[in-house]
Amino acid sequence: MRKTQLLLALAAIGFTGSAFATDGYFSHGNGMIAKGMGGAATAMAEDTFGGANNPASMVWVGNRIDLGAELFSPHRSADRSGGSGALSGSADSDMKYFVIPEFGYNRMINTDLSLGLSVYGNGGMNTSYSGGQLDAFNCNQGHGPHGPANMLCGSGQLGINLMQLIIAPTAAYKINDSHSIGISPLFGYQRFKASGLDMFKNFSSEPNNVTDNDSDHASGWGVRVGWQGRITPTLTLGAAYSSKIDMSKFNSYSGLFADGGKFDIPENYNLGLAFKAMPNLTLALDYQRINYGGVAAVANSSMNSLNFTGANQLGTSNGSGFGWKDVNVWKLGAEYMLDDKLTLRAGYNHTDNPIQSADVTINIMAPGVVQEHLTLGMSYAVSKTSDLTLAYMHAFKHSVSGPDALDPSATTTIKMYQDSLGVAYSWKL
């Protein structure tokens, strides 16, 4: 038991540096097995990340521990051109490598009941652009002194750091030999920091709580429920629903986020199937819906506050958000057992782009625009009771362009592509 508690503590500590931006800002998959299959996992039962994918799967997993880490590398850039040229410039985000750990544990209480725990990074956004691309004199429309300014007309480094961690204790129960149900209370923890947003103070209801404050923390609760059923010897279906996680407020950034600093984790649900096309080949397909539109700080139009009318100031209920829309995600995966020791995986993940052209300027801070992902993975049985799993993901470059909020005659373009490589070790207890 002490070993399990130590592993959990190490995993939780490691998430303080995590950052995602794949399916919007959710991860493309949870657990290294799912990550190698494009994220498809709703109708699968192979590891201890049911608390993130489908709680009902855990009762089929047995006694098991999974511990892994992923090296995640997002490449983000922003460019403004055209118009008067006074605010033209470009910048690349400096932070390009993050280590993201994961941890899961499951214990069979009896043949029909399991209790487990999934610890995972739900998502996040992180950018860090060095300043100096613009002149503060031009940012202030020819007023004030000359001096270096960043891409959003603030001083110094521009960026945000949002991290979301979820701890999901899970209970799963076999209704019969083919069907199970599960439930996971979700404890959410998040951390946020912003820098270089001085210009935004002019649009805020609380100018002192907009930028360059210390990292702030928030926490809250939600729940995920799920069902999994073997319909035929070759077809398994699954479904899971996660409520919105109601988070406390970021008090240090109550003048930035809508609703006084409230940044809830969106409601989402997923449906999936797994089809055993051959004795050694399984095909899996998931559909996921992420309702970013239900969180004002994420979904409110960026122009609510940045329209220079003084209405709907930042931090109010109708203040600017990132303008993100709900997204549909499709995840397709294949798993092939080459022999008793080696299993190979591949996958494809497609997500809608949540960012519209009208909101491109504020999303310099959070350019979650990638849509197409390809994945590869494998597991090797090191012994009868332990496995080593690898997973690789590439998200292809995608861009969004639109009129700039600070200079409407100019065009701003944000771009991103990503790579990740993960490894996990599993023990069957």
Identify the structural domains of the chain with CATH numbers, from first to last.
2-428 (2.40.160.60)
Local confidence band at 195 (pLDDT 50, 70, 90 cut-offs): very high
Tell me if residue 8 falls in helix, strand or coil.
helix
> Residue 296 belongs to what H/E stretch?
helix 296-299
pLDDT at 416: 95
**For residues 394 and 11, what is the distance between their CA atoms, to the nearest angstrom?**
24
Whether pLDDT at 14 is above 60:
no
For residue 41, give every residue at least 6 positions away whose Cβ sits within 8 Å of its Cβ, in sequence order, or none. Answer: 29, 30, 31, 33, 34, 49, 53, 54, 57, 272, 284, 286
Burial class (CB in 10 A: 0-12, 13-18, 19+), 192: buried
199-203: long-range pairs with CB below 8 Å, 24+: 199/139, 199/152, 199/153, 199/154, 199/406, 200/152, 200/154, 200/256, 200/314, 201/255, 203/305, 203/306, 203/313, 203/314, 203/320
DSSP 339: S
Burial 285-316 (b: 16+ CB within 10 A, else e): bbbbbbbbbebbbbbbbbbbbbeeeeebbbbb
Q: Hey, how many other C-beta atoms are within 10 angstroms of the C-beta on 97?
A: 10
**Integer distance in angstroms from the first to the last C-alpha of the chain?**
12
Most confident region among 12-21, 178-187, 195-204 by mean pLDDT: 178-187
What's the mean per-residue pLDDT of the chain? Answer: 93
| Residues 23-42, mean pLDDT to the nearest whole number | 96
Tokens of 60: 């089929």
Share of the chain above pLDDT 70, in %: 94
The residue with tokens 């999936």 is 272
pLDDT of residue 144: 75
- 63 pLDDT exceeds 60? yes
To 5 degrees, how large is the angle CA 192–CA 195–CA 197?
A: 115
Note whether 80 and 117 are within 8 A (CB).
Answer: no
pLDDT(1) > 50: no
Which residue in 148, 140, 147, 141 sits closest to 201, CA to CA?
A: 140
Q: How many CB atoms lie within 10 A of CB 83?
A: 16
Residues ≥6 apart with Cβ < 8 Å to 378: 36, 342, 343, 344, 345, 389, 390
Instruction: Locate the DSSP E strands across 130-267.
Output: 134-135, 148-149, 158-174, 179-195, 216-232, 235-242, 246-247
Cα–Cα distance list, 251 to 16, 62, 204, 259, 346 (Å):
19, 43, 14, 11, 43
Mean pLDDT of 406-425: 95
Average of per-residue pLDDT across 318-333: 97
pLDDT at residue 6, as a whole number: 47
What pTM was computed for the model?
0.94
pLDDT tens column, 108-148: 999 999 999 999 988 777 899 999 999 999 998 877 789 99
- Compute the 3-state secondary structure of the chain and give helix, strand, coil in percent, each to the nearest 5: 15, 50, 35
Nearest-angstrom CA–CA distance, 401 and 356 = 9
pLDDT attached to residue 124: 77
Q: Given a cut of 70, is residue 51 above it in pLDDT?
A: yes
> What span, in angstroms and rounded, lies between the C-alpha atoms of 130 and 92?
8
Q: What is the pLDDT of residue 16?
A: 46
Between the alpha carbon of residue 301 and those of residues 86, 123, 192, 268, 357, the distances in Å are 25, 21, 21, 21, 11
Q: How many CA atoms lie within 13 A of 266 on its CB side?
A: 24
CA 251 to chain centre: 22
Mean pLDDT of 181-193: 96
Query: What Rg value do the Cα atoms of the chain yield, rounded?
Result: 22
Torsion angles phi and psi, residue 32, rounded to 5: -65, -30
* pLDDT attached to residue 19: 54
User: Residues of 410-429 as b/e, b for ≥16 C-beta within 10 angstroms?
Assistant: bbbbbbbbbebebebebbee
**CB 155 within 8 Å of CB 130:** no
What is the distance between the alpha carbons of residues 7 and 4, in angstroms, rounded to a whole number? 5
pLDDT at 4: 47
